Amino acid sequence: MSASERSIELTRIAAATADDKKATEPVALDVSERMPLADVFLVLSGSNERQVVAIAEAVEEALHAEGVKALRREGVREGRWALLDFNDVIVHVMHQEDRAYYELERLWKDCPVVELD
C-alpha cells in the first residue's frame, strides 16, 4: 500500500506553502508501509527559530484552508522542531541544526520519496 492521492496532494500544498516562506531542504517520504498512523512525513528546514515558527504557522493555515485541521501540534512556540500532525500527513519543520543532528531522513531511508513539484 502506498500513500493516498489526497495525502500526496496535501503534502505538495504544504511544501509549496513552506517554499513561499523560504523553507529549505524539503523531503517527503511515503511512510505508509512502515507506519500505520500516517501516509507521508514532510521534513522541512528553517534557518532560525522565527522562520521555523512562520513556516509551521503558514503550513497549518494552508492545510486548514483545504479542510484539514492539525490534530496535534508540538514545539511550534519554541521554534526548534515544530511537528504538525494532520493525521495522514505529518509535517516536521526543523531548525537546520536540529535537522542535521536528528537526521530523520536516515531513520526513514527505506521509505520511498514523494516527488514534490
* Digit-coded pLDDT (tens) for 73-97: 999 999 999 999 999 999 999 999 9
Q: With contact defined as beta carbons under 8 Å apart, do 80 and 49 qualify?
A: yes
Taking the domains of the chain in order of start, what are their residue ranges? 5-107
pTM of the model: 0.95
- Separation CA 40–CA 88 (nearest Å): 6
Question: Confidence band (pLDDT; 50, 70, 90) for 1?
Answer: low
Query: Per-residue pLDDT tens for 32-77?
Result: 999 888 999 999 999 999 999 999 999 999 999 999 999 999 999 9
Please give the pLDDT value at position 7: 97
Candidates 3.40.718.10, 3.30.460.10, 3.40.50.2300, 3.50.50.60; correct CATH number of 5-107? 3.30.460.10
Please give the pLDDT value at position 14: 98
The closest alpha carbon to 18, from 46, 40, 38, belongs to 46
Q: Which three cell numbers stand for residue 34?
A: 512502515
- Separation CA 36–CA 19 (nearest Å): 28
Q: Which three cell numbers stand for residue 91?
A: 509535517
Region 7-27: mean pLDDT is 98
